[in-house]
Amino acid sequence: MKWVYFFGDGQAEGRADMKNLLGGKGANLAEMTNLGIPVPPGFTLTTEVCNQYYENDRALPADLDAQIKAALKETECIMGQQFGGTDNPLLVSVRSGARSSMPGMMETVLNVGLTTKTIPALIAKSNNPRFVYDAYRRLIMMYADVVMEKAEGIETQDGTGIRHQLEGLIDEYKKSHGHREDLDLSADDWQTLSEKFKQLIKQQLGSDFPDDPHDQLMGGISAVFQSWMGKRAIAYRRIEGIPGEWGTAVNVQAMVYGNLGDNSATGVAFTRNPATGENLFFGEWLPNAQGEDVVAGIRTPNSLNELTRPEESKDQISLEEFMPDVYIELDKIRTELETHYRDMQDVEFTIQEGRLWMLQTRTGKRNGPAAIKMAVDMANEELITHQEAVLRVNPSQLDELLHPMVDRQAEVSAQLLAKGLPAGPGGASGQIVFTADDAESQAAEGKTVILVRDETSPEDVHGMHAAVAILTAKGGMTSHAALVARGWGMCCIVGCGALKIDAAGKRMTVDGQTLQEGDWLTLNGTAGKVYAGQLPLKDSDPEGNREYAQLLEWADSFRTLKVRTNADRPEDAAQARAFGAQGIGLCRTEHMFFDPQRIMAMRKMILSGDLSERRAAVMELLPFQKQDFKDILRAMHDLPVTIRLLDPPLHEFITLTDAQTAELATELGLSSQDIEDRVAGLHELNPMLGHRGCRLGIAYPEITEMQARAIFEATAELIKEGVKVLPEVMVPLVGTDTEYRHQEALIRRVAGEVIEKLGVQFEYLVGTMIELPRACLTADEIAADAQFFSFGTNDLTQTTYGFSRDDIGGFLPAYLEQQILPHDPFQSLDIAGVGQLVEIAVEKGRGVNPKLKIGICGEHGGDPASVEFCHRTGLDYVSCSPFRVPVARLAAAQAALREK
């Protein structure tokens, strides 16, 4: 079995399209090598090695060693160095590389191959003992932490692990020798510290730091594989939906150094700006530094070029200015990579004594607005097609454009607390928390929190996810916090140096002002501004964004599925129309009954003793309902509006306070006891499966009659006014064709009466929700009469699984944790089960009624994966909340394009 793929000197065994086997990083290192870009040579251990490792009880395959040795030989050859050699020793890095990037979630070991034997040779060669001992102590620290502690499964309390203890030794040493910065330490200092490190490791972990290069290499490789099943990698995979079976690859690569003096440097760059999408080469670099220094946020890095240098960094030198030739070469590689990959790349580079090496390229993460701008720009530049542009943007990324922003007026008069780097756009207000655990627990209590940290680390991801925004004192635009927030489209500010955070004391001071946990902050992530207090947020204006409008115009030209909206207020309908909704797919009518002015009539109807009393009570609602429908039909003129008859459980109307009971008693001429008795008589143990949906309209036909009359009178009056309206009356929670026919007959009778009474002809449809398994299985019987179906997948999911939609929160976390369910089925449609019922209903329904119009109006109508299913299943439309209309439009276009 081939476990190892070599790359180096213009030739590689792998290619970019081998990501599943080589991981993203390995595949791209191979591809870059093949393009002739300067990449330090090395080799990739495949994801299959990882899977074997776990299948074989955490043992590496027997024939791996020989393949590693052979690849190492080739690497040595190209570099003119020997691994473990005493003349010109080769050092390597050992890094993870999964199929899709998991920033910082797995382990890395650098400088592997430094031993007591190779140190003198490297000193002789580099003439820089300080660099060598600094590299050595870094290796010892990383190795002890990653290989000897974490991979061995040694659990430590926060701040007590071996790395922390070793850092403690450095601090102690600096203090006792009067040094302030790491840079003040000499070669001898680092040598002394390295010896102290080894002693402490032996004492704490019970074994020696290995002095054999091969042992170091194999230890590093196993540790990286081990980190695939580490706690934070598992947590990240769960949030991102990355399957555990993918495994990670491991890349072993010749080390090159950006910290060999002033002619060396290291940096990261994006071929376009990942925060705005602008076609400008954008990045950060540090002179005389290692790669980890840039991303760890310990030093604030410089801008790559003059064009992108922010006002705040006037006194820093750009790479363009500092090393113009190297910058030109890097800029050329930028163009080569973009032309080759036809997408924005995120690269890491190192300059070792004036020579440029590319360490990594991958498709860069970007926020929503940037993704849209890049896709449209690249299509206009003819780098990609319109179809590709539409496929490039993740539908949920549109959300970011639809995100609230801090109200401008309020911002002008607000007190600016501090400024940082604008890492994630949009505005957010929340209460301060200082730890990820607090963020998670307080968010679970329903608080809106902003996570404030010195810097974030992968251990914080759960809290970062729970917060509405992230604010850090340290780090640059490529720091951990910035990368993760950008990936999730979150509001985020980093490098806000004015914050003096005392996480243990749960407070921070900024410019003399102290803020505690629970105090409110507002962030403008687009401008990097932090304000004390809770400023109002304002809805965004996506229509003002040219690229967004262009992208959705292209999307509309590709999609076949229509997109409607769920709206029951005229203002929501107008909003949805502005977002491109092609009608209302669900106008719920319940809130219209719960209005304080109207609920009394409804209660009187339910509790009244005889038919005429009941009728009189419900007819009190007719004028209100007629106005409701007029307003909404007018707002959606020229487009269809599906109005659903009353649906909620009866008991929701008759949960009464003493005062309400007394008031009702007076109205109905009864005693309070009588009212209580009648309410008790209607009590249900299981209201969700009880007296609701069409059962209400069958037991109390006056309700259906009143609603139908209100709809049709509104229609007739609007038509008289010259407004074109297309009402569709929808019966809820039907399980049998007889239920449907009972309600349909009533509705059609009322329609006839209204047409006759008002002398206006109008068109209308009558149809039904399909939200019970029985309705799906007998869809042919129902479709014989119904003109349309609308899948109520909220109830259909509830009744298919037998999970109460209101109570799933009790056990869902355990289900997701233990992978009993892959996701919340109320968020994204369960295609295998609920989806199958939908397919059956579509087939049976269209079998008897080919013209049957079919849509979906459950929450799934705005979920991209569910939209794709709806497209495949031949639905005519999806209907979702107004803010998800653009998301559904894009998802529908992508579904159509993917099918081709």
- Give residues in contact with Mg ion (CB under 5 A): 771, 792, 795
Please choose, out of 54-62, 167-175, 674-682, 787-795, the segment that lies near ligand PEP by the rule CB under 6 A. 787-795
Q: How many residues does the chain have?
A: 900
718 vs 857, beta carbon nearer ligand PEP: 857
* Closer Cβ to Mg ion, 220 or 792, answer by number: 792
84 in Cβ contact with 214 (< 8 Å): yes
Active site residue 637: no
253, 479, 793, 849: residue in contact with ligand PEP (rule CB under 6 A):
793
For the bound state, the minimum distance from the C-beta of residue 835 to Mg ion, rounded and expressed in Å, comes to: 17
Secondary structure of residue 509 in the 3-state scheme: strand
Contacts of 133 (CB under 8 A, 6+ apart): 119, 187, 188, 190, 191, 194
* Tokens, residue 264: 């060396």
Site for ligand PEP in 298-337 (CB under 6 A): none
How many residues make contact with ligand PEP (CB under 6 A)? 10
707 binds, among Mg ion, ligand PEP, none (CB under 5 to 8 A by kind): none
Query: CA dist 483 to 235, 242, 406, 476, Å?
Result: 17, 17, 22, 10
- Considering 480, 491, 496, 776, which one is annotated as catalytic? 480
Token pair recorded at residue 490: 């979150």
Contact region with ligand PEP (CB under 6 A), list: 126-134, 316-324, 335-343, 789-797: 789-797
Q: How far is the CB of 790 from ligand PEP (least distance, A)?
A: 8
CB 311, min distance to Mg ion, A? 54
DSSP-assigned letter for residue 645: P
Q: What is the largest CA-CA distance in the chain?
A: 106
Cα–Cα dist 778/183, whole Å: 77
User: What minimum distance in Å lies between the beta carbon of 732 and ligand PEP?
Assistant: 7
User: Which residue's CB is nearer to Mg ion, number 771 or number 868?
Assistant: 771
Q: How far is the CB of 162 from ligand PEP (least distance, A)?
A: 53
DSSP 445-471: TT--EEEEESS--GGGHHHHHHSSEEE
Our CB check for ligand PEP shows the closer of 305 and 642 to be: 642
Q: Smallest gap, in angstroms, from Cβ of residue 782 to Mg ion?
A: 16
Say how many CA atoms lie within 13 Å of 353 toward its Cβ. 5
DSSP state of 208: P
Picked from Mg ion, ligand PEP, none, the partner binding residue 728 (CB below 5 to 8 A depending on kind) is none
Per-residue interface string for the shown chain with ligand PEP, residues 207-246, x marking contact by CB under 6 A: ----------------------------------------
Does position 794 bind ligand PEP by CB under 6 A? yes
| Choice from 142, 703, 857, 870 touching ligand PEP (CB under 6 A) | 857
Residue 792 interacting with ligand PEP (CB under 6 A): yes
Which residues neighbour 371 within 8 Å (Cβ) at sequence distance 6 or greater?
Answer: 277, 392, 393, 394, 397
Please enumerate in sequence order all residues whose Cβ is within 8 A of that of 640, keeping only pairs 6 or more positions apart, or say none.
564, 583, 584, 726, 727, 728, 765
Nearest distance in Å: CB 692, Mg ion = 9
Nearer to ligand PEP by Cβ, of 793 and 800: the residue is: 793
CB of 795 to ligand PEP, least distance (A): 3
Q: Which is nearer to ligand PEP, 688 or 897 (CB)?
A: 688
Smallest gap from Cβ 696 to Mg ion, in A, equals: 13
Joined tokens for residue 514: 């102290």
- Taking alpha carbons only, the member of 562, 292, 526, 571 closest to residue 421 is 526
Beta carbon nearer to ligand PEP, 411 or 795: 795
Residue 227: closest CA among 142, 354, 323, 339 = 142
Q: Which stretch binds ligand PEP (CB under 6 A): 8-16, 48-56, 759-767, 793-801?
A: 793-801
Binding status of residue 107 toward ligand PEP by CB under 6 A? no
830 binds ligand PEP per the rule CB under 6 A: no
List the interface residues with ligand PEP, window 647-686 (CB under 6 A): 647
* β-strand pairing of 345-352 with 355-363: antiparallel
Helix (H) or strand (E) holding 605: helix 596-607
Give the type of residue at 111.
N
Tokens linked to 205: 């972990």
Phi (first) and psi of residue 776, to 5 degrees:
-65, -45
| Residue 857 binds which of Mg ion, ligand PEP, none (CB < 5-8 A, kind-dependent) | ligand PEP
Among the listed residues 104, 825, 858, 864, the single contact to ligand PEP using CB under 6 A: 858
Pick the binder of ligand PEP from 705, 771, 863, 868 (CB under 6 A): 771
| DSSP letter string, 777-822 | HTHHHHHTT-SEEEE-HHHHHHHHHT--TTTGGGTHHHHHHTTSSS
**Min. distance of Cβ 588 from Mg ion in angstroms?**
9
Q: Is 177 a catalytic residue?
A: no
| Among 25-33, 89-97, 157-165, 791-799, the segment contacting ligand PEP (CB under 6 A) | 791-799
**Cβ 881 to Mg ion shortest distance, Å:** 15
Measured from the Cβ of residue 295, the count of other Cβ atoms closer than 10 Å reads 21
Q: Which residue has the tokens 């007018």?
A: 634
Query: Of 451-459, 652-660, 737-745, 790-798, which segment contacts ligand PEP by CB under 6 A?
Result: 790-798
Task: Find, among 747, 707, 712, 714, the residue nearest to 634 by Cα.
Answer: 714
Distance from C-alpha of 4 to C-alpha of 312, rounded to nearest angstrom: 47
858 binding partner (options ligand PEP, Mg ion, none; Cβ < 5 to 8 Å by kind): ligand PEP
148: DSSP letter: I
- Which tokens hold the place of 252? 């072993």
- Tokens (6 digits) for 213: 């290069």
| In contact, 570 and 629? CB cutoff 8 Å | no
CB of 564 to ligand PEP, least distance (A): 12
Q: In sequence order, which residues have a C-beta less than 8 Å from that of residue 172 and are 6 or more positions away?
A: none
Contact call for residue 424 and ligand PEP (CB under 6 A): no
Write down the least CB distance from residue 797 to ligand PEP, Å. 8
Sign of CA dihedral 796, 799, 804, 808: negative
d(CA 428, CA 438): 18
Query: What is the dihedral sign for C-alpha 755, 758, 764, 768?
Result: negative
Give whichever of 426 and 858 is closer to ligand PEP, judged by the CB atom. 858
| Number of C-beta neighbours around residue 483 at 10 A | 26
Nearest CB to ligand PEP, comparing residues 413 and 686: 686
Q: Which parts of 529-588 interact with ligand PEP (CB under 6 A)?
A: 586, 588
Q: Output 108 or 866, the one with its CB closest to ligand PEP.
A: 866
Rank residues 93 and 642 by Cβ distance to ligand PEP and give the closer one: 642
Indicate which of Mg ion, ligand PEP, none lies near residue 793 (CB less than 5 to 8 Å, by partner kind).
ligand PEP
Q: What residues numbered 581-620 form the site for ligand PEP, per CB under 6 A?
A: 586, 588
870 near ligand PEP, rule: CB under 6 A: no
Q: Which of residues 90 and 854 has its CB atom nearest to Mg ion in the complex?
A: 854
Does the CA dihedral 739-742-743-748 come out positive or negative? Answer: positive
- Please give the Cα distance from 208 to 195 (Å, whole number): 11
Q: Does 714 bind ligand PEP (CB under 6 A)?
A: no
Catalytic residue among 491, 776, 857, 870: 857
C-beta separation of 86 from 62 below 8 A = no
When CB distances are held under 5 to 8 angstroms depending on the partner's kind, the choice from Mg ion, ligand PEP, none that residue 455 binds is none
Task: Using the minimum distance from each CB to ligand PEP, give the nearer residue, 525 or 583.
Answer: 583
Cα separation of 624 and 518, whole Å?
44
Give 594's contacts (C-beta < 8 A, 6+ positions apart): none
Partner whose footprint covers residue 588, from Mg ion, ligand PEP, none (CB < 5 to 8 Å by kind): ligand PEP
- Structural contact between residues 378 and 338, judged by C-beta atoms closer than 8 angstroms: no
For the annotated catalytic residues, the residue numbers are 480, 857
Query: Using CB under 6 A as the criterion, which residues of the chain lie in contact with ligand PEP when the complex forms?
Result: 586, 588, 647, 771, 792-795, 857-858
